[in-house]
Amino acid sequence: MIKIKRLTMEERQDLIKKIQTYLKENNKDGLLIHEVDSVEPYFEMLVGGDSSVPAILYIPAEEKPTCLISDLEYDGVISAGVLEKESVIKYEQTFLLEAKKLIDPLKGKTILINYSESDAPIDQMSHSFVNDYLEGVNIESSEKLWNKLGVKPEVKEYIFNTKKKVKKQRVKELKSKFRKSFNKGYLMINGVGIKASQTLTSYLVGFSKNNKYAIAIKPGKAVAIVHKSERLRGHPFDKIYKYNDSSEFKKIISDFFQDVDIVHFDKEMTEGNYQVLKNTLEDKLATTEIDLIRETFSARIPDEIKEIEKGCKINTEIFEYLETILKKGISEKEIVELVERRALGYSEVLELSFNPLIAAGSNGVKVHHFSEQSDYKIQEDDLLLVDIGVRLKSGMCSDTTCMFYFGEKVPRRIKKYDKIMDKSIKAALKNIGPGKSKMDADSAARNIIEKHYPKTYLHVTGHSIDIQVHGIGRAITVIPTGFFGVGQTFSLEPGIYIRAENLSKKFPKVEGFRKEILISITEDGVKQLSEIPKLRIIKG
Return residue ranges of the chain for CATH 3.40.350.10: 2-155, 158-297
- Which CATH number is 2-155's, of 3.40.50.720, 3.40.50.300, 3.40.350.10, 3.10.450.50? 3.40.350.10
Rounded-to-integer distance, Cα 256 and Cα 263, Å: 11
Contacts of 126 (CB under 8 A, 6+ apart): 34, 36, 195, 267, 268, 269, 270, 271
- In 79-143, DSSP assigns E strands to 88-91, 110-113, 138-141
CA 263 to chain centre: 27
Which residues are CB-neighbours of 150 under 8 A, at least 6 positions away? none
Residue 165 has pLDDT above 60, yes or no: yes
Q: Element (H or E) spanning 29, and its range?
A: none
Which residues have C-beta within 8 Å of that of residue 151, sequence separation ≥ 6?
15, 42, 45
pLDDT at 193 over 70: no
Classify residue 530 by its DSSP letter: S
Angle (CA) 348 518 405, round 5° = 95
Question: CATH top-level class for 302-538?
Answer: alpha beta
Numbered ranges of CATH 3.90.230.10 in the chain:
302-538
CB 499 within 8 A of CB 508: no
Q: What's the average model confidence in pLDDT over 277-282?
A: 90
pLDDT attached to residue 365 = 93
Specify which residues 155 forms β-bridges with. 2
CA distances (Å), origin 441, targets 107, 428, 480, 528, 533: 43, 5, 11, 15, 20
- pLDDT tens-digit readout, 446-484: 999 999 999 999 999 999 999 889 988 889 999 988 999
Backbone angles phi, psi at 219, to 5 degrees: -50, 120
Residue length of the chain: 540
Partners of 386 in the beta sheet?
358, 402
Q: In which band, very low, low, confident or very high, does the pLDDT at 210 lie, cut at 50, 70 and 90?
A: low
Q: What are the CA-CA distances from residue 146 to residues 13, 115, 190, 444 (Å)? A: 16, 11, 21, 48
Torsion from C-alpha of 394, 316, 52, 417, nearest 10 degrees = 160
Q: Kindly report, residue by residue over 43-100, the tens digit of the pLDDT.
A: 988 988 878 889 999 999 999 999 999 887 787 788 777 888 888 888 876 888 899 9
Q: What is the pLDDT of residues 9-57, one digit of tens each?
A: 889 999 999 999 999 999 999 999 999 877 788 998 898 887 888 999 9
Domain 158-297 belongs to what topology?
Creatine Amidinohydrolase; Chain A, domain 1 (3.40.350)
Q: Which pTM value belongs to this model?
A: 0.91
For residue 368, what pLDDT is reported?
81
Q: In terms of DSSP bridges, do strands 154-155 and 138-141 run parallel, antiparallel, or are they unpaired?
A: unpaired
Phi and psi at 59, nearest 5°, equal -110, 105
Structural contact between residues 352 and 343, judged by C-beta atoms closer than 8 angstroms: yes
Burial (CB count <10 Å: 0-12, 13-18, 19+), residue 56? buried
Which of 94-103, 153-162, 353-362 has the lowest average pLDDT? 153-162
